[in-house]
Amino acid sequence: MSLHAAYDPDNIFAKIIRGEMPCVKVYEDDDILSFMDIFPQTEGHCLVIPKAAGATNLLDAPAEMLGTVIAGTQRIARAVAASLKPDGVRIAQFNGAPAGQTVYHLHFHILPVYEGRAVAAHENAGPAATGELKALAEKIRAAL
């Protein structure tokens, strides 16, 4: 998809926000939703998205939306760090297919990084068991 493509209101994240698709929720308020990535690159990989529709990526998001989503990403990343005790935390955000974006709704990845453990490539991560994701989400929620 082009870097400047129109927003598709039927993308998977829009469906998750509307409750049409399931997710393993970490946090939700009026503005953002955080949930576990079902294709985790590392243990504890979660996503933070704005609940408002319209922003395909960072380049077309209004500044006030970015402020809210970045603040939410920081809050969730702190909870990931406190609960899962990684050696580092990677925050990733992709804009356009050539950059690695696969879902065209603005989103941020929070990837706990553990020394001695590989981080799977974004396009090569396999699906995780729902029970494992729920247990990780519960740990992260407890640190919020």
Residue 4: inside a domain, yes or no?
no
CB 137 within 8 A of CB 24: yes
Residues 40-86: tens digit of each pLDDT = 999 999 999 999 999 999 999 999 999 999 999 999 999 999 999 99
Listed residue (93, 87, 13) closest to 44, CA to CA: 87
Residue 68 falls within a domain, yes or no? yes
Residue 1 belongs to some domain of the structure: no
Residue bearing the bigger pLDDT, 44 or 1: 44
| Structure confidence at residue 125 (pLDDT) | 79
Q: Convert the pLDDT of each residue in 117-134 to its tens digit.
A: 999 987 777 899 999 999
Q: From the candidates 4, 107, 109, 122, which is the catalytic residue?
A: 107
pLDDT tens track for 9-36? 999 999 999 999 999 999 999 999 999 9
Task: Give Cα separations from 6 to 1, 36, 57, 89, 117 (angstroms).
Answer: 10, 26, 10, 31, 38
Single-letter code of the amino acid located at 1: M
- Of 105, 84, 133, 88, the closest CA to residue 33 belongs to 105
Query: Domain containing 47 — which CATH number?
Result: 3.30.428.10
Note if 107 is an active site residue.
Answer: yes
The pLDDT assigned to 140 comes to 98
Q: Is this prediction's pTM over 0.85?
A: yes
For strands 108-113 and 46-50, give the pairing.
antiparallel
Domain count, the chain: 1
Tell me the residue range of the domain where 103 lies. Answer: 12-142
- 1, pLDDT greater than 90: no
Is 5 a domain residue?
no
| DSSP H or E run through 76 | helix 63-84
